[in-house]
Structure 1
Amino acid sequence: MINLIRTIKTKRIMFAAGVLMLVSGCASMGSGTVAEKRDAILTMQDVALAKLYKEKPDVKAQIETAPGYAVFSNANVNIIFVSAGTGYGVVNNNTTGHQTYMNMAEGGVGLGIGAKDYRIVLVFHSQKAINYFIENGWTAGGNADATAKAGQKGMSVEGEGYLGDITVYTMTESGLALQASVKGTKFWPDKQLN
């Protein structure tokens, strides 16, 4: 019986390590020049916005008339009681035309298992909200979702939320996850890309 418990624990640890390596590989910008990394982020942004506009056409006008918006790519893993994720993206200031490339990391506690790759689109409704996000970039809150998606097949629960002067849209690209957690997310400017 003790050997069985050890085997189960070992398998869980190996699974967790494998999923963490997968997630960090998905969220990593990898190698390349600064220009190549910026281009990759802008391509990710274009693809995410095209998908969002297809699903919610009214968001295009909202983004075009807003003071600014941001798009992030994130890979997240949840293993029993712990969740973690990393990602990257760009904040676009529609008033000044300036782009700020940023990183993100999240961690939390809760119940769940699985991994997912998803996009976050934030629409800023004031210049103050853009400045605060770039300078402080911290959010905290609860999260509950179910995802079973690969490419265009499967389904996920996706959402829209409001945080003061920011509207947040999330879209799952792929993954298999069932989780309910309380987590915090830290966003910060990428020193290399800015």
Structure 2
Amino acid sequence: MALVLAALALAGCATTTVTGGKTPAQKRAEIDRMARDTLDRLFEQNPPARTLYDKAYGWAVFDNLKLSLFLSGGGGAGVAVEKPTGRRIYMRMATAGVNIGLGGQKYQVVFLFQDRHTFENFVEIGLKAEAQANAVAGKTGVNAATGFTNGMAVYQLTEAGLMLQADISGTRYWPWDELNQHP
């Protein structure tokens, strides 16, 4: 239990550094800007991802900060977009686990959704990415994706560039109610 509480505390710290002290409108604008910049970087570093994006029903981008001190925890924010309607669903994410080591990593994750069903499941139910990470990756690894696996393609980018394998295991994604209530 103490491990879970410590990991959640780390996740809370990471999330507040991304969006703390801002109005909902400012948070949405910051998340939208991050998402545009991340997609631009993805298409520049992996041109085939553009073709897959063009075929996708929807997409989501998250900005994450993961910290490790024997326990790992992280958190972040993002947006999922339904392309046919332009509907935007702002979301949060958190990750927790046990890790040997000390440090931190900032990275972005891009999800591409093949169909409405996969997109809706992600935004309404959320995703507990453990077994799903392996199911999406298939045999070639997530960032090598040139097609959808189980309705999704996943890419992870760091400051150093596109990662060979995305690590989304132990991560949960869910709607951010505060940002989805528009006046």
* TM-score normalised per structure 2: 0.74
User: Which has the larger share of strand?
Assistant: 1
Alignment of 1:108-187 (within 5 A): 108-137=97-126, 138-140=128-130, 160=143, 164-173=150-159, 183-187=169-173
| CA pair 168-98 structure 1, distance change in 2 beyond 3 A | same
Which of 22, 25, 28 is the aligned partner of 1:32? 22
Root mean square deviation of aligned Cα: 2.9
Q: Distance in 2 between matches of 1:105 and 1:115?
A: 14
**Distance 1:66-1:120 versus aligned 2 partners, 3 A rule:** same
Secondary structure at 1:123 match in 2: strand
List runs of 5+ in structure 2 lacking aligned partners.
1-5, 134-140, 161-166
Determine the C-alpha separation between the residues in 2 that align with 1:182 and 1:97: 26
Letter in 2 for 1:193: L
Q: How many residues align?
A: 155
- Counterpart of 1:87, as a letter, is G
In terms of Rg, which structure is larger?
1
1:21 & 1:110 partners in 2: Cα distance? 14
Q: In structure 2, what is the Cα distance between the partners aligned to 1:182 and 1:50?
A: 21
Matching residue's letter, 2:171: T
1:27 positional shift:
4.5
Matches of residues 79-98 of structure 1 in structure 2 within 5 Å? Answer: 79-80=69-70, 82-98=71-87
> How far apart are residue 62 of structure 1 and its match?
1.5
Match of 1:169, as an amino acid?
A: Y
Corresponding residue for residue 189 of structure 1: 175
Deviation string 1:52-86 (CA, Å, 9 cap, x unpaired) is 11101121221122100000000001223x21100
Kept in 2, the 8 Å contact 1:74–1:87? The answer is yes
Moved more, 93-102 or 159-168: 159-168
TM-score by length of 1: 0.70
Percent of residue pairs bearing the same amino acid type: 32
Match of 2:42 in 1: 52
